[in-house]
């Protein structure tokens, strides 16, 4: 999960900001996530609690528009005229992966690997695809510890969407590490795994240009 605020705040025990090194305190737990302010997104990465403000409009638009572009063709049981279906696509799911609690901007599970959605408030099964929308304040987290967690948990596909650069980078696990398999920018057409059965225009994710 990325945010467009320049600040990150934590709550005891062991709180972190985006720029500060971990404090040597006891490891954060799910209770710390539950105790976080309701207007913040809380994650536990490597035993440290991170809290992030909700994203600004360009970030939120990119995430929601991507969900719309992928949802219609893929988030259905059998598919249809618009696409093959076969996926669950979820906005900001809370993932409990080992001792880590991660909240990507978007994530997807193939229905063949997860036939039904859980009744809990979180997922304990790693997704098949995750997407992080980058911002300057949390880019280091998204491309650092969170990417390492996704690799460890076998998340086969990872996308990074950058609203500032107006770009999308798609990675896939190859030999136990993520390898860049495609990058698009501006108004390029996008047809990248695992959603290469369709094509959409990347410009659909960005706010319209301001009128002079």
Structure confidence by residue, pLDDT tens digits, 86-134:
999 999 999 999 999 999 999 999 999 999 999 999 999 999 999 999 9
Give me the pLDDT at residue 210, please: 47
Question: What CA–CA distance (Å, rounded) separates 59 from 23?
Answer: 29
Regarding whether 95 and 172 lie in a shared domain, the answer is yes
Regarding whether 49 and 68 lie in a shared domain, the answer is no
Question: For position 144, which CATH number holds?
Answer: 3.90.1570.10
Regarding whether 132 and 86 lie in a shared domain, the answer is yes
Q: Which residue has the higher pLDDT, 201 or 2?
A: 201
Give me the pLDDT at residue 18, please: 47
Check if the beta carbon of residue 43 is closer than 8 Å to that of residue 11: no
DSSP assignment of 17-85: -SSSPPPSSPPP-HHHHHHS-TTEEEEEETTEEEEEEPPPHHHHHHHHHHHHHHHHHHSSSS-BTTB--
Could you tell me if residue 41 is inside a domain?
yes
pTM: 0.86
- Of the pLDDT bands very low, low, confident and very high (cuts 50, 70, 90), residue 26 is confident
Give me the pLDDT at residue 12, please: 38
Query: Can you give the residue range of the structural domain that contains 37?
Result: 15-53
Could you tell me if residue 1 is inside a domain?
no
Looking at every residue in the chain, the average pLDDT score rounds to 88
β partners of residue 25: none
- pLDDT, mean of residues 40-69: 93
- Of the pLDDT bands very low, low, confident and very high (cuts 50, 70, 90), residue 56 is confident
Give me the pLDDT at residue 8, please: 41
- pLDDT, mean of residues 10-29: 54
Q: Which residue has the higher pLDDT, 7 or 73?
A: 73
Q: Name the domain count of the chain.
A: 2
Regarding whether 193 and 138 lie in a shared domain, the answer is yes
Is the confidence at residue 4, as pLDDT, over 50? no
Question: What CA–CA distance (Å, rounded) separates 121 from 61?
Answer: 24
Is the confidence at residue 62, as pLDDT, over 90? yes
Residue count (the chain): 212
Check if the beta carbon of residue 9 is closer than 8 Å to that of residue 37: no
Could you tell me if residue 211 is inside a domain?
no
Regarding whether 138 and 33 lie in a shared domain, the answer is no
Regarding whether 49 and 69 lie in a shared domain, the answer is no
Q: Which of 24, 53, 82 is the last residue of a domain?
A: 53
Could you tell me if residue 212 is inside a domain?
no
Regarding whether 138 and 35 lie in a shared domain, the answer is no
Regarding whether 144 and 84 lie in a shared domain, the answer is yes
- pLDDT, mean of residues 140-169: 97
Regarding whether 199 and 130 lie in a shared domain, the answer is yes
At residue 163, the 3 state secondary structure works out as coil
Question: What CA–CA distance (Å, rounded) separates 168 from 135?
Answer: 13
Give me the pLDDT at residue 136, please: 87
Check if the beta carbon of residue 138 is closer than 8 Å to that of residue 8: yes
Q: Angle 60-62-63 (CA atoms, 0-180°, nearest 5)?
A: 65
Regarding whether 158 and 110 lie in a shared domain, the answer is yes
Please state whether beta strands 157-162 and 167-174 pair in parallel, antiparallel, or not at all (unpaired).
Answer: antiparallel
Regarding whether 104 and 182 lie in a shared domain, the answer is yes
Could you tell me if residue 117 is inside a domain?
yes
Regarding whether 154 and 136 lie in a shared domain, the answer is yes
């Amino acid at each position: 999960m990325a945010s467009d605020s320049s600040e990150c705040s934590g709550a005891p025990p062991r709180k972190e900001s985006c720029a500060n090194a971990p404090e040597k305190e006891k490891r954060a737990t799910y209770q710390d996530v539950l105790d976080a302010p309701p207007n913040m997104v809380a994650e536990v990465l490597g035993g440290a609690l991170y809290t992030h403000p909700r994203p600004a409009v360009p970030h939120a638009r990119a995430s929601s528009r991507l969900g719309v572009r992928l949802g219609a063709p893929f988030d259905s049981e059998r598919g249809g005229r618009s696409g093959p279906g076969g996926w669950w696509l979820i906005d900001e799911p809370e993932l409990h992966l080992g001792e880590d609690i991660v909240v990507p901007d978007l994530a997807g599970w193939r229905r063949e690997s997860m036939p039904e959605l859980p009744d809990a408030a979180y997922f304990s099964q790693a997704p098949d695809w995750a997407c992080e929308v980058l911002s300057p304040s949390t880019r280091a987290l998204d491309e650092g510890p969170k990417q390492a967690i996704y690799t460890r948990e076998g998340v086969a596909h990872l996308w990074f969407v950058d609203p500032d650069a107006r770009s999308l980078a798609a990675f896939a696990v190859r030999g136990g590490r993520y390898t860049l398999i495609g990058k698009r920018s501006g108004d390029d057409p996008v047809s990248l795994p695992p959603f290469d059965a369709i094509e959409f225009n990347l410009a659909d994710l960005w706010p319209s240009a301001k009128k002079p």
